[in-house]
Structure 1
Amino acid sequence: MKLGLRLPQRLRVDLQHDLVEAAKTAEAAGYSSLWTYEQLLFAETPIEPYAPPNVPWPESGRQTADPLAVLTAAAVVTEQVRLGTAVLIAALHTPLQLAKQLATIDQISGGRVVAGMGAGWATDGLQAAGATRADRGRFLDETLDVFEAVWGPDLVNFRSPRVIINNAAVLPKPVSKIPVMLAGGAANLGRSGSPKAMERVAKRADGWLPLLTTPGPAGAAELHANWDRIREMASEYGRDASRMEMVVVGNITFTDRLAGPDRSAFIGTLDQIMEDIHTAAEAGANELILDLNLQDSFTNTQQMLETAVEIRERAPAS
């Protein structure tokens, strides 16, 4: 199983210098990919909690630097790592502009972009972008349709409720087909999980971006079963399921003491986090994205990178 790292986008990040340092350090340490995430704003009284039943939003989440700008910076200073979004919220973007942005970064990076997409769940951000929770799935499907159209050959003709393209050239094109991965899709994965989301992954995506929430063998079995079901559905749609990837997301929160038996995955001591990395591998993950952005205890990016390097060095033994 490969390891990826989410780039620093949070509070106390020096965007002028830290992004370049993080991207270079992660690639040199042996990480296979670098990822960004999206949060449009931080409401003082969010409509939904960060996680059920009532987990507050991390203070570090008050800042989330623009994911595509951050990915572009990483593209310029790296050579080999894949560059992904995990995830972009379709309803926060106009589809054609997003397709052009991703294609442009793919050209800058020499063809290393992975487009991780999601429907989103935070009402505050959706409303700020002129969308509602009811729009989420429809806007995501429309965005995927636009990707297929404009990343294909010119001249492009496309029509949807929001997008009309009449016999037009849409450039630049990606270096090659940009893999599109989708988040959500299983009941154990929180708000975004649903049979509809699972079906969308199976029918339209090149891969799945689930969260691992349950530690240990139970979590591995649960995730593996959901992944098997997605690939079974993909085969039923006539797709080659063997070409699909499962890239698990691990949102890490360190604790000073051993977390109890009822803990969620990726919450605990470093040793417990290493156990969760092993669990993701046991579940059949092709890759695991480690996110250290949630650590309010980190006072600077250097601390984050030191921890990331330590995890990368210890991971083979897990």
Structure 2
Amino acid sequence: MKLGLRLPQRLGVDLRRDVVTAARTAEEAGYDSLWTYERLLFPVSPLEPYAPPNVPWPEGSRQAADPLAVLTAAAAVTEKVRLGTSVLVAPLHGPVQLAKELATIDQLSGGRVIAGLATGWSSDEFHAAGVRRGDRGRHLDETLDVFDAVWGPDPVSFHGTRAVIDNAFVLPKPVGKIPVMLGGGGANLGRETSTAAVRRVARRADGWLPLLTTPGPAGAAGLRASWDRIRELATGYGRDASRMELVVVGNVTFTDSPQGPDRAAFVGTLDQILEDVHTAEEAGADELIIDLNLHDWFENTGQMLDAAVELHDRAVA
């Protein structure tokens, strides 16, 4: 299983220095990939909780720097690591502009981009972007259609509800095929579940980006069952499911003392976090993204990177 690291984007980060330092440090430490995430804004009185049923929005991090700008900075100072978004909220972006931005970063990086997308869920963000929450699934589908068209041969023609291209050249193209991965759908689907999000992953995506929330054997079994279900559906659509990737996201919060049996995955001591790394591997993950952005314990990016390097070294050992 490969390991990836989310780059620092949160409040208190010196964007001019910390992003490139983190990118270089992670590549030198042996991380296989670097990732960014998207939060357009942090509402004071949000319309929805940060996570169901009533998890509040994080108070210590009310900034998420633009994910594509951060990824571009990382591309300029690295040579080998893959560069992914986990995830971009597709309805917040014009689909043609997004396709062009991703293709440009792919060219700048020599073909290392992974496009991770999701529908999003925050009504506050949708209002700010001028889109309706009820249209988010349709917007994601059209974004995927635009990628297929714009990243294909020129001249391009496309007619959708948000984008119309009439026989035009749209350049640059990606270096090769940009893998498109999708989040959403939950991590405990069960064989009877066939939601729109799950079907979209199976039908359209090159991989799935779920959160691991349950530690131990139960978490591994649930995630593996969900992934098996997605690949089963993909095969039914006539796709080669063996070519799809499972890239799991771990939102890490270190604690000074061991947490009890009811803890969430990736919350606990370093030893407990390492157990969760093993859980992701047992679930069949091809890659695990370590995210330290929401951890209020870190005083600065240097301290965060020390923890990231130690976690990587211990996990590899």
Contact in 1 for aligned 2:36/2:87 (Cα 8 Å): yes
Q: In the alignment, what sits opposite 1:94? A: 94
Structure 1: runs of 5 or more not aligned: none
Change (3 A) 1:257 1:195: same
Q: In the alignment, what sits opposite 1:313? A: 313
Q: In the alignment, what sits opposite 1:199? A: 199
Encode CA deviations 1:60-82: one digit per residue, 9 max, x unaligned.
Answer: 33010000000000000000000
Are positions 1:16 and 2:10 aligned together? no
User: Structure 2: how far apart are the matches of 1:59 and 1:6?
Assistant: 19
Encode CA deviations 1:132-159: one digit per residue, 9 max, x unaligned.
Answer: 2201100000000000000000010100
User: Structure 2: how far apart are the matches of 1:292 and 1:51?
Assistant: 17
Encode CA deviations 1:283-311: one digit per residue, 9 max, x unaligned.
Answer: 00000000000111111100100000000
TM-score (norm 2): 0.97
- SS of the aligned residue for 1:51 comes to coil
TM-score (norm 1): 0.97
- SS of the aligned residue for 1:115 comes to strand
Offset at residue 187 of structure 1 (A): 6.0
Q: State the number of aligned residues.
A: 314
The alignment yields a C-alpha RMSD, in angstroms, of 1.2
User: Structure 1: how far apart are the matches of 2:134 and 2:194?
Assistant: 14
- SS of the aligned residue for 1:125 comes to helix
Contact in 2 for aligned 1:60/1:293 (Cα 8 Å): no
Q: In the alignment, what sits opposite 2:294? A: 294
Are positions 1:45 and 2:45 aligned together? yes
User: Structure 1: how far apart are the matches of 2:52 and 2:229?
Assistant: 26
Encode CA deviations 1:168-203: one digit per residue, 9 max, x unaligned.
Answer: 0000000001000000113648xxx97111110000
Amino acid at match of 1:207: G
Q: In the alignment, what sits opposite 1:234? A: 234
Offset at residue 122 of structure 1 (A): 1.2
User: Structure 1: how far apart are the matches of 2:175 and 2:44?
Assistant: 42
- SS of the aligned residue for 1:61 comes to coil
Encode CA deviations 1:192-251: one digit per residue, 9 max, x unaligned.
Answer: x97111110000000000010110000000000010111111111111111000000001
Percent sequence identity over aligned pairs: 73
Are positions 1:114 and 2:114 aligned together? yes
Offset at residue 162 of structure 1 (A): 1.4
Contact in 2 for aligned 1:185/1:194 (Cα 8 Å): no
- SS of the aligned residue for 1:247 comes to strand
Are positions 1:277 and 2:277 aligned together? yes
Q: How does 1:1-318 map to 2 (within 5 A)?
A: 1-186=1-186, 188=188, 195-317=195-317
Contact in 1 for aligned 2:187/2:210 (Cα 8 Å): no
Answer with 177-186 or 250-259: which moved more: 250-259
- SS of the aligned residue for 2:16 comes to coil
User: Structure 2: how far apart are the matches of 1:123 and 1:265?
Assistant: 27
